[in-house]
Amino acid sequence: MLTTFSYWTLLQCRYSVHVVQRFLSAPSTIKSSAERVEYTMKFLTQPLTLSFLSSTAGVACLSFTDFAFSERFFFRPLMIVMVITYFIGTFFLPILLTKLDFEFLKVGHVSEEAEDNDKVMESFHDDAK
């Protein structure tokens, strides 16, 4: 049971950390949280799904063991945990993030175009003095 719980924690972090990091670091030109989630999931849907499928294939090998103990205490719980954590990381978390439309969560980089505009404005103000 402890092994399954620790694996669940590892998998949950594995999916969620990428989604949250991409959401937080989205360009500052993306204003709404729904657009930030769309930006995030357009990029991460394929890698997260492929990660889930490869992990599932590895754990599925445990189902072919002759030991009932391994099948019962490792294969079944891990398959359940993998499906649940994938669902939480790729479906529930993005839905939750769309509801968190706070300015302090928008810590992404400023686009190059906005930086160029800022430099032009700074030089304009310097010339005006």
Contacts of 74 (CB under 8 A, 6+ apart): 3, 4, 62
Chain centroid to CA 114: how far?
Answer: 26
pLDDT of 127 reads 53
pLDDT of 107 reads 80
Give the residue ranges of the chain where pLDDT is below 70. Answer: 1-5, 7-8, 11-12, 111-129
CB-neighbour burial class of residue 119 (10 A; exposed 0-12, middle 13-18, buried 19+): exposed
